[in-house]
Structures are given as C-alpha cells and as structure tokens.
Amino acid sequence: MEKRKLLMFDLDGTLIDSVGGIVQSVNVTRIQYGFAPLSENVVVSFTGDGIAKLTERSFADVGLPESLDIVKQKMMDNYAADPLYKTGLYDGVKVTLEKLSSCGWLLAVISNKPEVVGEKILEGLDIMPLLCENIGGGRFPLKPAPDAIDYLLEKYAVAREDAMMVGDNHTDINCGKNA
C-alpha cells in the first residue's frame, strides 16, 4: 500500500491575500453601528486568532455595541456576503497546488476563518476541487490547537511523519508543533 502524504495549508496570508475583504467586513460592521472605519494596518494587526478575537479587537476603542455573539455574527454575515472582495490567490498558488496534487499529495486547508467564508473563497478562486478538506473556524478549537490536524491524520490514514503544516503565523507554527 502506498504511503499517503498530507500538506495542510493556512488560508489567509499563505494561499490568499484577503486583507481587503477582512478590512471591509470589519469596517462595514463598524459603520452599521455608527462608528468610524479603522485603517487597514490596524485591522491587520487584529487578525490571526479567529473572528471572535477580531471582533473584540475591532470594537475595543468604542466598546461592543451588542453582545460579542451578535456583533461577531453581523461581521461574519458581512464577510460572507462578499467574501472575494479584494481577495485573490498569491502568484503561483494554483499551479503549485495542481502539481502537488498530481504528485499524490493530499491537500487540505486549516484556517481560523469561519468555514462558510473560507469555502466560498476556495470555490470562487477555483481551488476547492484540489483539496480533500477545508476546515475553518467553528468545527474544531482554533489553531494553535492541534485538533484539526489530528482529525485529518486519522481520517485520511496519514502518519504524522508524512504530514506538514504550512502557514505564515505563530498560530500555524504552533498548531503543527502541538500536533
């Protein structure tokens, strides 16, 4: 039986540039509540730890106007309404994923981005067919928790030494180390 190999990728900042879409979802939500938008640099500094932390940080200067769950859901709905806004693949990503897939690698995404938003982005950028799985925030504890990696290794019968996590953030590195 041939050994299975698995590459797990973070999404934002690794496969895609999604800064514009994230900033838009934050600022549309802030404007809906009557608050001024935040600069791109400020919003980017708030990312990487999931939508709940992004929501808290994005309203820290003015206070949450409603419960965290309600504001978080509004922000997620705003993002899901236009998930491809100023979002695209980094150069060479699609051809690289195609090559890896043709060489027998199983490919998956593990992201702290809400899964429904990630799925719309992956489908819209036409790379979902190359993936065996898209795991987003909400299905398992967020990275750096190793639960998503453990799930994929078991589901696809891949040995730990035949799997790698690829990402751009401390949460990705620590997720891989924790697994």
Q: Which residue has the tokens 């500094």?
A: 45
| pLDDT band, very low/low/confident/very high, at 1 (cuts 50, 70, 90) | low
Six token digits for residue 69: 């769950």
Q: What is the pLDDT of residue 3?
A: 86
State both tokens at 167: 């990402």
DSSP 8-class letter at 89: E
Q: What is the pLDDT of residues 55-86, one digit of tens each?
A: 999 999 999 999 999 999 999 999 999 999 99
- Return phi, psi of residue 176, to 5°: -60, -45
Residue 12 pLDDT:
95
Residue 178 pLDDT exceeds 70? yes
87-133, pLDDT tens digit by residue? 999 999 999 999 999 999 999 999 999 999 999 999 999 999 999 99
Calculated CA dihedral for residues 84, 90, 91, 95, nearest 10 degrees: -80
Q: How far apart are CA 147 and CA 153, in angstroms?
A: 10
Residues 157-177 pLDDT 10s: 999 999 999 999 999 999 999
Kindly report the average pLDDT of the chain as a whole number: 96
Quickly list H helices, the chain: 19-32, 40-45, 51-58, 68-81, 93-102, 115-124, 147-155, 170-178
Between the alpha carbon of residue 170 and those of residues 86, 137, 151, the distances in Å are 24, 16, 21
pLDDT confidence of residue 58: 98
Predicted TM-score (pTM) of the model is 0.92
